Chain A
């Protein structure tokens, strides 16, 4: 079949869009690009990035005749991948309806579209890559931590970083990476869960940064040597027990691509499209270049100002320095292509976000050639249909010093109610509350949720990290604990149990007992189960066996934690709660956590303890439950995410700014814009690991930790502000005094051009002068 000409393709696009070609001049340039050179597309918020890239993929198939099975299209989340697939098929169908018959010969479902992780997993499976065949994936951080705490083959062999005798060395390592730790909390010994979390993070960062074990072990720094030892042990155990994690699967994939089979699979190279490139990490960058077969047919799309995932190993330099990296890879130097026509937001909001990102010295270091943003980046220009002479920018603030959360929250609730009652919004889901954390005990969020409850405004906050505190969640957990540990009276803490975990469990057990007083069937089930364990234990102990025996029920089935969960939800009041979405989601969170735990801990199957043991159920089961599973819970549990929809209809959606990426809302409240950001382990790890990366992946001009923190903070709030379509409400307080530090943190002063910095906004009158209305 003859290729479609670009003119015909545009004509079909135009027909599909009621006679108007849905491309602005910059977007159109991407369709004329010579793909022997990589395409470096930098797209500001609301400038039609997804729209452009999906049409571009169709253009590559129809006009450039690229076989769809030779196209790889990656994005950041499963949700985004679902959206891309829907759009791609929808656009494809529109082309057919517009009479572009040649489109019938292509099949867009043959494109490999998904997150990089899903593509890695699928290709490795399809290609039967030996090291990963039927491998277990630790697909979330909890599972990775569970694995690290599992001390194969028994308790004597934990990871060197977690060995008791190495506690002092681990503390030095913590201090080495977390310089703030030593400064802030001299002499403080972090809890075990925190240590495990940190060790898991270190391992992941090392892999994502493509840092080999050998450079660590050869280092002259004893802390890095120690990290190398730990990483080696982690690798060995993953391989031995046939596990991998989210970072390692990428390393496996890169190893495959560099193998003979991998090179054969790549052949002459794939046509690559990478969305959200600003959040790419070094190993991913290596994978993308490898997949092109060094041909350079690589289109990257992203916005450096929206890079948010440094804490997961992303390096914004992948996008900012893309031209230099391409040249280091022997490819032609790409010119940046900017999308800057914003069709999302009211002009006043566009003006605000421009002032916010494009004036401050943090994002524009004076007298330095260092790139903090993509070179030559223009301001975005408002092209939205959303117009109107109303204050699209509101400040939730007042002249008094310090926070007045209750007061601000009440104003926010009144405004939302007004908008809904007067049909200015059709649904509460058109409103979002964004904050850096949605834990209800932080960021003053509790004041807002309380005001919403009082006003009868339904809200949805799945990332509250409070799921573990829900009464039904705790009652069910209490029931499992009562069955598992009937011998432990709640006032007596078992010797092995970590105090805070046991205290949490005691409350759960008590809540379950209270529940049982009114739910006799549930009470009877727990009592008969306990009695069954006692009887089985008596019989088993009489055998004097040296080894524990599996606990089975009367049908001969091995009893596991998840089995107990399923049995318990058969009883009231849990059964009725399954019909209530809000509670059911919390019960599901517990179910998912239990099954994740069981994947590491012998399928969660319980055993009877041998004679002489102080517990009826095997001590390992009880210890793992109390000290590892409960430890993970009380660190905070979110509700499971919905892969299809990021926004719940009928509710005001409360979400982290990170979660809001890629979304848009008519009305956005941004809380705590004056957040004080500190350098964290993220920045410490990045600084120390940078010189250990392979030479071409090193950042030659890494800024100080403090400067990178400030950059991150700007990007965070840039994302938050740019989600708003019609109304942006910013909550923040005025600083106590004007100094450099306060200048950086003041949400209002940040929007002033550098030359006006000294005239920082210190009260509501000055805020009004720059066009902000006070709510």
Chain B
């Protein structure tokens, strides 16, 4: 029997477009994409893997140790002493090294972390820990793509706190109350320049978290606070502050979420999601090209794709070097 005869009663149906609602995080997706779409596409979308993990050591250690110390505080209702801080740092170090994070000069780095954490506890420990509501608080919400594909917005907030600022007596352009909700985010380094891209990224992240928190709870946080623990490394400033955190101007950066800022951040977020989704629809060979905008050199130097990336001016030299 011919195929024509065989299938003359074949039911015609149209190919169904498969809908996919993907999750996007501020840091892992949006800021990574904005920083360099090529790097984002290769590592976050296509699934190439890099084994380098050196840069994560210090920041991860600070996060882990603060988290553990808070848990100890929750159980005992007292601030950990110096010995406990050292033990906690040592444990966190062993875990990190065992988990494959590579680090250099770990003895010095550990000592530095112990110093920073001890100073932090001395300056802010009690009011800070006493007002923490949640740590590593997950925010997640499905969002209307507004013409672009819908998506799930996700983020993890380091600390969701009550009125730490109120308890610390920080001077604010807006008044504080004991019922304030605050989002706190630890940064292990020093405060970047006010007009730097890094600072802009941090603020963007906080504005999106504020909106996400609102979407989830119906209220905006009173403020978002970036805490630059690395500022405590400056002995001169530390000694001069006389145990008063308010004297250290650069340790805390407070963001009061405004409709305008949040609106701008969310519009940008949606546009970036649309760009990423659009990129996935392009022919394979033209996806994830090097970006048209400038990429900072540190990003390129840390990127394993630099040996052939048109954005990295030294690519030929780096590639041809032996090993």
Contacts and interface: CB of A to CB of B under 8 A. Distances in A.
Interface in A512-549: 521, 524-525, 528-529, 531-533
Contacts of A387: 11
A603 B304 contact: no
Given A86-B21, A110-B140, A566-B307, A525 B322 contact: yes
Contacts of A564: 323
Interface in B271-323: 284-285, 304-305, 307-308, 315, 319-323
Contacts of A640: 47
B9 A390 contact: yes
B15 interface: yes
Interface stretch (B26-34, B98-106, B122-130, B168-176): B98-106
B51 A524 contact: no
A424 B12 contact: yes
A653 B97 CA distance: 43
A726 B142 contact: no
A531 B322 contact: yes
A85 B140 CA distance: 12
B67 interface: yes
Given A89-B21, A553-B323, A134 B99 contact: yes
Nearest to B154: A109
Contacts of A595: 49-51
Given A566-B307, A570-B307, A107 B47 contact: no
A418 B64 contact: no
A579 B102 CA distance: 32
B236 interface: no
A669 B3 CA distance: 17
A553 B20 contact: no
A725 to B, nearest CB: 8
A496 interface: no
Interface stretch (A169-177, A498-506, A554-562, A756-764): A554-562
B48 A136 contact: no
B51 A560 contact: yes
B3 A93 contact: no
A645 B280 CA distance: 13
Chain A's interface size range is 35 or more
A551 B323 contact: yes
Given A135-B99, A241-B98, A525-B319, A588 B47 contact: yes
Contact of A553 (B150, B285, B322): B322
A563 B318 CA distance: 12
Contacts of A242: 95, 98-99
A571 B307 CA distance: 9
A525 B11 contact: no
A109 B152 CA distance: 8
Interface string A99-115: 00000000111100000
A133 B51 CA distance: 20
A286 interface: no
Contacts, number: 159
Interface centre among A82, A86, A571, A604 (most CB of B within 10 A): A86
Nearest to A110: B140
A592 B51 CA distance: 10
A755 interface: no
Contact of A525 (B8, B10, B320): B320
Contacts of A584: 46, 284
Interface in A563-617: 563-564, 566-567, 569-571, 575, 579-581, 584, 588, 591-592, 595, 598-599, 603-604
B322 A554 contact: yes
A134 B15 contact: no
A579 B308 CA distance: 13
A128 interface: yes
B215 to A, nearest CB: 8
Contact of B308 (A424, A426, A569, A726): A569
Contacts of B48: 588, 591-592
B323 A532 contact: yes
B7 A591 contact: no
Interface string A701-718: 000000000000000000
B222 to A, nearest CB: 22
B14 interface: yes
A430 B46 CA distance: 24
A424 B11 CA distance: 8
Given A89-B21, A570-B315, A579-B284, A133 B100 contact: no
Contacts of B12: 423-424
Contact of A90 (B9, B19, B71): B19
Contacts of A20: none
B44 to A, nearest CB: 12
Given A126-B136, A386-B11, A644-B20, 17 more contacts: A85-B21, A92-B142, A107-B216, A110-B140, A133-B95, A134-B99, A389-B9, A525-B319, A553-B323, A554-B321, A555-B321, A570-B319, A581-B284, A584-B46, A588-B47, A640-B47, A666-B13
7 contacts: A85-B21, A108-B142, A134-B99, A430-B15, A575-B308, A584-B284, A773-B1
Interface of A: 82, 85-86, 89-90, 92-93, 107-110, 126, 128, 133-136, 241-242, 385-391, 415, 418-419, 422-424, 426-427, 430, 483, 521, 524-525, 528-529, 531-533, 551-555, 559-560, 562-564, 566-567, 569-571, 575, 579-581, 584, 588, 591-592, 595, 598-599, 603-604, 640, 644-645, 666, 726, 773
Interface of B: 1, 3, 6-15, 18-23, 46-51, 64, 67-68, 71, 95-96, 98-100, 102, 136, 138, 140-142, 144, 150, 152, 154, 216, 284-285, 304-305, 307-308, 315, 319-323
Q: Across chains A and B, which 4 residue pairs bring their CB atoms closest together, nearest first?
A: A570-B307, A242-B98, A532-B322, A570-B308
